[in-house]
A = this chain, B = another copy of it.
């Protein structure tokens, strides 16, 4: 293959990656919109921000998904840890904001 054909192929793959990255960012935005709603529901009704059983079942499901998609389980675990930690941190912030505004969570 000529050098310019290789460069053209690299450029084409990079365009696909740029499109995929935009999709990843927007799908993550939707995920946080959803976890923020969960955080708000939990804060309003006095549920704790973290649910360990839910987290365990999420991790088991993700390990299976990683296997099905032929991705490294350790990599997916690290990636999802980062995303879930960000969501949990937002839940804590939402609960603190709710407490500051309303004095105490409903249901407590």
Contacts and interface: CB of A to CB of B under 8 A. Distances in A.
A79 interface: yes
A71 B32 contact: yes
Instruction: Summarize A's interface: helix, strand, loop or mixed.
Output: helix
A24 B21 contact: no
Q: How many copies does the complex hold?
A: 2
Interface residues of A, number: 50
A100 interface: no
A70 interface: yes
Interface of A: 1, 3, 6, 9-10, 13-14, 16-18, 20-32, 34-35, 37-38, 41-42, 45, 47, 54, 58, 61-62, 65-66, 69-72, 75-76, 78-80, 82-83, 86, 107
Given A1-B45, A17-B34, A20-B31, 14 more contacts: A3-B107, A6-B45, A9-B41, A10-B41, A21-B31, A21-B58, A21-B65, A21-B80, A25-B71, A26-B69, A27-B27, A28-B76, A79-B79, A79-B83
